[in-house]
Amino acid sequence: METQGGIVHLVGAGPGDPDLLTVKARDLLSQGDVVVYDRLVSDGVLDLIPPGTARIFVGKATGNHHLPQDDINGLLVTLARRGHSVVRLKGGDPFTFGRGGEEALYLARHGVRFTVVPGVTAASAVGAELGIPMTHRGLAQGLCLVTGHAREDGALDLDWRRLADPGTTLAIYMGLSRLGALTAELMAAGLSADTPAAAVASGTTADQRQCVGTLAELPDLVARLEFEPPVLVVIGRVVALSGLLNWRGLVYEGDEDLVAAKRQEHA
């Protein structure tokens, strides 16, 4: 039976840059009674919440859950049953590695009204930032989004042979801690060690950092540069286009020739 009064809006906060929020997401932030938000929601997006609106932080990081998922689910139901308009603000897109589907199912099973507002997901945002088209005629006919984080820290159960298709771009979310194992599995499944690969930390924010290398060298490069989460990894032939389509003039760390060229260009 549906609960009357309250409602939960599962809203994508996008990759970090508040200018990448949808108009609908901005409108809901200005109208909601309570905002329940995750760790990956940027300060720039939180600044759009009107003064006086209640905020509840429920952020999760690997091995450190501020509030377990079951408790988050229960909180959303409780707030809605009290008649609140709840904005459940999630980094990126709520239905792309955001556990939005789990929360929506819980709300549906408890008779709570909800809506879903999509957000720009990290793969799209990072591709645009770095000049990496996720698909490109003659280079990549498809895009595959996967998570590098296994449930309950177990083994990754992925179809490595399918993921090693050279005609598909691979975007790996939450794969920093297992990057060495991920690249090794892909190479063992037949993907060339020379396949272009990029890693981007804190994409679209003021703290963004990026590097480009090959599949084989990327784990050592990222470790040497001491990248910290959130990190998105893009693997595939389309990554090679980043040098030509670098419309922002970004400096790619770890590539000494490219760094020197950019420094000379801006001298």
Which residues are catalytic, by number? 38, 60
Q: Which helix or strand (DSSP H or E) is residue 25 part of?
A: helix 23-31
- Both tokens of residue 61? 């990081």
Cα-based distances in Å from 257 to 38, 144, 210: 38, 31, 15
Element (H, E) at 257: helix 256-265
194: Cβ contacts below 8 Å, ≥ 6 apart: 214, 215, 216
Burial class of residue 127, CB neighbours in 10 A (0-12, 13-18, 19+): buried
Instruction: Identify the H or E element spanning 76.
Output: helix 69-81
